[in-house]
Amino acid sequence: MEIRKINDSISVAPQIHPGDLPELAAMGFRAVICNRPDGEEASQPDQDSIAAAARQAGLDWRSVTLAPGGPVMERAQEFGQALDELPGPVLAYCRSGTRSATLWGLSQAGRLPRDEILRAGAEAGYDLQGIAGALPERAD
């Protein structure tokens, strides 16, 4: 697993598999957010199998999927709500981790200053400059 820490509350990763969930729990994660819809690739495990493995490992689970071209801002709002409700730290995953990092960044609009969001993304290895225009310069 390639896990990239954004901050103490959230990390992101490429596709995970049911067998990864006990290790994630042992690493201290308390919840998982799936940002990848079923069926993007034939070999991808379905959400139900990962959700079942998460629950068996004692992890909370949330699905906030975003297909390419989908309603990004709506999903970002749902992602932020999930972060507010789930125990942390949280691991969010998608195909490469980029979608999860982007949803995190957009969900933090108004909560964190733009530069802090962009810097956290960059330090985790994700270029979030594409969402900079949607982020207010300062936090509320």
Tell me if 139 is assigned to some domain: no
Contact partners, residue 19, CB within 8 Å, separation at least 6: 53
Per-residue pLDDT at 92 exceeds 80: yes
Range of the domain at 120: 4-133
Split into its structural domains, the chain has a count of 1
pLDDT surpasses 90 at 140: no
Quick check: is 9 in a domain?
yes
Is residue 7 a contact partner of residue 122, using CB atoms and an 8 Å limit?
no
pLDDT band at 139 (very low <50, low <70, confident <90, very high): low
Q: Is the pLDDT of residue 132 over 90?
A: no
Tokens for 62?
Answer: 């949330």
The enclosing domain of 10 has a CATH number of 3.90.190.10
Q: What is the DSSP string of 106-121?
A: HHTBTTB-HHHHHHHH
Report, as an integer, the average pLDDT of 102-131: 92
Q: Is 45 contained in some domain?
A: yes
**pLDDT at res. 29:** 98
- Least confident span in 6-15, 70-79, 87-96: 70-79
pLDDT digits (tens, 9 = 90+) for 67-81: 888 888 889 999 999
30-72 tens-digit pLDDT: 999 999 988 888 889 999 999 999 999 999 999 999 888 888 8
Tell me whether residue 98 is in a domain: yes
pLDDT value at residue 133: 79
- Examine residue 16 and state whether it is found in any structural domain, yes or no: yes
- Domain annotation covers residue 97: yes
